[in-house]
Amino acid sequence: MGTGIVSIALAADGQQTLSRMLFALAALVWLSQLAGIAQHELRLGEAATLAVVAGTAVLGSRAALLGWTHVGAAALALALLATLVLLPAALVRLRSDVDGTAFLVVVAPESLAVLAALLRPAWLADAALVPLGLGLVLYALVLSRFRLAELRDAQGDHWIAGGALAIATLACAQELDAGVTLGGAMRIAALALWIAVLAWLGALAALEAVEPRLTYDARRWATVFPVGMIAACSFAAGRATGERALTSFARVWVWVALAVWLAVGISSSLWALRRSS
C-alpha cells in the first residue's frame, strides 16, 4: 500500500520511470501477500487484512492512471467485495483504546472512492460519494476510540491517523476532478481536509522529534503510506482546486515520501539479513 501510493505521488510529479519501478514492486508484494493469505501463512486480523484491500485499490488506481481501465475495474470489484466481507467484522471488534491500525477501517472505503472516481463514468463517480461519506463517519468513530498515548508510544502505525484523512482528501479531489454533482462541496471538503492533514503532519513530525523511534519495527511501513499519501493528496487537491500552494508543497514532500520509503526499505532489508544470519 505504501509503495503503491508513493508510486502515484511520483507519477503526479512527472517522475514516470521511478513511479513505474515502484508500481512493479508494489504489484509483486501484493501478489506475495495474496499467496500468503491463500496458504494461511499470514495470520492477520480483519483490520490488518483491510490494508491488503486498500492496497488492491491503490494498485488499481495506479493502473487506471496508466490507462489500464480494465485492470482498475477488476481491482475495484475485488476490493469492494473484500471490504463488504471484512469491514463489518472489523467494526464489530472495534474496541475502546484502539491503536493506529484501527484507522484502516477508514482507509479501505476511502480507497474505493478514489479508484471509483478515477475510473470516471459519471454514475460511478457519484456512487463513490457513499464510501467517501462512510469513511469520514468511521474516522470520527475511530478517532473517538483512539488511545492518544499511541502518538508517543507506537512504532509507526500511529501515522495512519493522519493518513486516513489524507486519503479522504485525495478522494474529494478526485471526485471534484471527475465532475461529481456536488462539486462545490467537494472543493470545500478537499481544502478543509488538506488543512487538517497538514495539522496532523505537524503534530506527528513533532512527536517523532521529541520521542524518536529509531529501532526497526515492521509497523514502520505503516508510516510510509501516510507520508506518501500526503504528497499524492496535495498534488490532486492542488490540481482540482487550482490552489498552487498545495502543488508547490507536494513537489517538495514527494521527495520526503521517497526518502522515507527508502529508509524503511533499507532498514527492513538489514533486519531481514541479520535475522537470517
Q: What angle do CA 84, 87, 90 make, to 5 degrees?
A: 150
Residue 139 has pLDDT above 60, yes or no: yes
The vertex-97 CA angle with 94 and 98, nearest 5°, equals: 50
Band of the pLDDT at 42, cuts 50, 70, 90? very low
Of 200, 181, 198, nearest to 245 (Cα)? 198
SS3 95: coil
For residue 33, the model assigns a pLDDT of 75
To 5 degrees, how large is the angle CA 34–CA 40–CA 45?
80
Q: What is the pLDDT of residue 83?
A: 92
- Determine the Cα–Cα distance for residues 58 and 51; give it in Å rounded to an integer: 10
- Per-residue pLDDT band for 113 (boundaries 50, 70, 90) equals very high
What pLDDT band is residue 41 in, cutting at 50, 70 and 90?
very low
Higher pLDDT, 251 or 53: 251
48-57, 136-145, 198-207: which has the minimum mean pLDDT?
Answer: 48-57
Query: Are 35 and 88 contacting, i.e. CB atoms less than 8 angstroms apart?
Result: no
Tell me the mean pLDDT in the region 253-263: 97
- The answer, yes or no, to whether residue 205 has pLDDT greater than 70, is yes
Q: Grade residue 262 by pLDDT with cuts at 50, 70 and 90.
A: very high
- Give the per-residue pLDDT at 137: 97
**Position with higher pLDDT, 109 vs 182:** 109
Q: What CATH number matches the domain at 2-276, 1.50.10.150, 3.90.1560.10, 3.40.309.10, 3.60.15.10?
A: 1.50.10.150
Asked if 227 contacts 260 with a C-beta cutoff of 8 angstroms, the reply is: yes
pTM: 0.93
Q: What whole-number distance in Å separates Cα of residue 162 and Cα of residue 198? A: 9
Q: Which residues contact 262 (CB under 8 A, 6 or more apart)?
A: none
Q: Can you give the three-state secondary structure of 113-158, one letter per residue? A: HHHHHHHCCHHHHHHCHHHHHHHHHHHHHHHHHECCCHHHHCCCHH
Residue 226 has pLDDT above 90, yes or no: yes
What is the average pLDDT across 79-104?
Answer: 90
Output the pLDDT for position 94: 87
Q: 93 by DSSP, 3-state: which? A: coil
Distances (CA, A) of 186 to 172, 181, 212, 238: 5, 9, 37, 13
Q: What is the pLDDT of residue 40?
A: 52
At 191-201, the pLDDT tens digits run: 999 999 999 99
What is the percent of the chain with per-residue pLDDT over 90, rounded to a whole number? Answer: 71
What rounded mean pLDDT belongs to the chain? 91
Whether the per-residue pLDDT at 89 is higher than 70: the answer is yes
Q: Which pLDDT band holds residue 93 (cuts at 50, 70, 90)?
A: confident
Rounded CA separation 50/130 (Å)? 18
pLDDT reading at 140 higher than 50: yes
What are the pLDDT digits (tens) for 3-21? 999 999 999 999 999 999 9
